[in-house]
Amino acid sequence: MNFDFSTATQIRFGAGVINTLGIEAVKLGKRALLVINCPGADSSKIKNLLNQAGIDLFIIEVCAEPTIDFVSLGIEKARNEKCDLVISFGGGSAIDTGKAIAAMLANPGELIDYLEIVGKGQSIKLPAKPFIAIPTTAGTGSEVTKNAVIAVPDRQIKVSLRSSFMLPYLALVDPELTYSLPPSVTASTGMDALTQVIEPFVTKKANGMVDIFCRDGMIRAARSLRKAFINGNDARAREDMAMTSLLGGLSLANAGLGAAHGFAAPIGGMFKAPHGAVCAILLPRVVSMNVKALKEREPWNPVLMRYIEIAQILTGSNNALIDDGIIWLADLCTFLGIPALSSYGVTFGDLTALVERSAVASSMQANPIPLTKLEMMQILEQLL
Ligand SMILES: [Zn+2]
């Protein structure tokens, strides 16, 4: 077995760990750029903790998915204020924004110089400034990944700023921060977390270490996502989902994803749709098509046994077959009220462009078997 595994320098997990923020932050800097969401979780407590620790705060609010222009303004502000620390408190958009700013604080030039596809694609050469990631949703796992997803509105795409130097210095994962999430956000972010412990389990880069995380994450999400959706104050369910999100981040950063995320990237670029809800509606269809393609073209592929294991973990039945897992996933989407792709404005006329863009998405390359464009089209047609 060969694998490479990297993650945040330190992960601190548990109810109440947010109270250690001041003590940790003061070890890393004196002038912090604080990145928060609007609307978002109540940030008054963390501002107090940082003020009490004697840290000067400069705040930016992320009100939509970060764009090149928005992140560039944040970089300018952090440079002008001579920030030596970046702290993100929010969902994936706040964390990705902070991650990109921390990297650019330590590296010369403009953001565009370092972006794939739309920019020069230069590599980040110097370690990012210290960065603390504090997720307030349980979905992206961005607190332990090395990339920041940035939207390019005029091209209708999203691109990544990516470097091992961008792994956060500290991930503070406090499930209590997720108690106040509304059910719809619990549903979409929770389904992202679940997708992110299923896809890395079957990718071409799956490995023994990530397998452990995926198996545990699937068990936790299977028993707790419905409960967290019904009762946001269910402490055990929230803890399970925060842990699933973290495990998903660890897994995707080290084993990649698959076709559900391969489709979700261009759909998110072309339409205003919650990432997790898009992954959710895609997942059962992607599993079904992957299994069909594997049985037709690679019936010997051991990944088919993995799909049986997924079905058994999700359903809790040792007798479950792959189809039982697919039905379980579809039922979960129904329970959580996950809408069809058409509800975001996706029409049949968009599908050819979506297939073309999905085919070159990085997550699509990690799918357990290459899908034909016809197969990709069939997946999308079923979801309108
Ligand atoms: Zn995702």
C-beta separation of 290 from 202 below 8 A: yes
C-alpha of residue 52 to centroid of ligand 1, in Å: 35
Of the candidates 325, 334, 316, 361, the one whose C-alpha atom is nearest the C-alpha of residue 160 is 361
C-alpha of residue 54 to centroid of ligand 1, in Å: 36
What is the average pLDDT value for the chain, to the nearest integer?
96
Task: Name residues whose C-beta falls within 8 Å of residue 86's C-beta, 6 or more positions apart in sequence.
Answer: 32, 33, 35, 78, 98, 99, 101, 102, 105, 129, 130, 131, 132
Quick check: 144 pLDDT over 90? yes
Quick check: 297 pLDDT over 90? yes
DSSP 130: P
C-alpha of residue 288 to centroid of ligand 1, in Å: 19
Instruction: List pLDDT tens digits, range 83-99.
Output: 999 999 999 999 999 99
* CB atoms closer than 10 angstroms to residue 203: 21
pLDDT of the residue at 210: 97
C-beta separation of 382 from 285 below 8 A: yes
Cα pseudo-dihedral 74, 81, 128, 146, rounded to 10:
-30
C-alpha of residue 292 to centroid of ligand 1, in Å: 23
Q: Please list the alpha-helical segments (H only) found in 232-382.
A: 235-255, 259-270, 275-297, 303-315, 322-335, 351-359, 362-365, 373-381
Instruction: List pLDDT tens digits, range 312-327.
Output: 999 999 999 999 999 9
C-beta separation of 247 from 216 below 8 A: yes
C-alpha of residue 312 to centroid of ligand 1, in Å: 23
C-alpha of residue 116 to centroid of ligand 1, in Å: 19
User: What b/e string do you get for 7-35 counting C-beta neighbours within 10 Å, with b at 16 or more?
Assistant: bbeebbeeeebbeebbebbbebbeebbbb
Quick check: 119 pLDDT over 90? no
pLDDT of the residue at 155: 85
C-alpha of residue 192 to centroid of ligand 1, in Å: 5
C-alpha of residue 298 to centroid of ligand 1, in Å: 27
C-alpha of residue 118 to centroid of ligand 1, in Å: 22
Instruction: List pLDDT tens digits, range 170-193.
Output: 999 999 999 999 999 999 999 999
Across the range 282-289, mean pLDDT stands at: 98
pTM above 0.85, yes or no: yes
